[in-house]
């Protein structure tokens, strides 16, 4: 997989028994999260609180918000 850039798109599949991340847009997502690469890294490393990112507009969610919450649980694990 190529390095993440500002315009990169990834699909995270949490439905199957083996969750996966692939390049590109699946097109049928139940939830779409939009965040810059740097802000995502800051969230993942704990430098940026996801709730603060959402409230400040750095992280946008379209669709089922409960699915976005599920991704947060996966990142912690």
**What pLDDT, in 10s, does the model give residues 6-19?**
567 888 887 878 87
CATH number at residue 29: 3.30.1050.10
In a domain, residue 57? The reply is yes
The predicted-structure confidence for 16-64, as pLDDT tens digits, reads as follows 788 788 888 877 888 888 898 899 889 889 899 989 999 999 999 999 9
Q: Would the pTM of this model clear 0.75, i.e. be above it?
A: no
- Residue at 1 is within a domain: no
What pLDDT does 37 receive? Answer: 87
pLDDT tops 60 at residue 76: yes
The answer to whether the CB of 70 falls within 8 A of the CB of 14 is: yes
**Domains: count for the chain:** 1
In a domain, 2, yes or no: no
Residue 66 belongs to domain spanning: 10-76
The pLDDT value given to residue 69: 82
Three-state DSSP string of 53-74? HHHCCCEEEEECHHHHHHHHHH
């Amino acid at each position: 997989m190529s390095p993440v850039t500002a315009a990169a798109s990834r699909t995270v599949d949490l439905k199957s028994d083996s969750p996966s991340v692939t390049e590109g847009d699946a097109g049928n997502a139940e939830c779409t999260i939009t965040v810059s690469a740097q802000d995502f890294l800051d969230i993942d490393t704990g430098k940026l609180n996801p709730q603060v990112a959402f409230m400040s507009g750095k992280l946008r969610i379209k669709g089922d918000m409960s699915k976005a919450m599920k991704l947060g649980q996966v990142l912690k694990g």
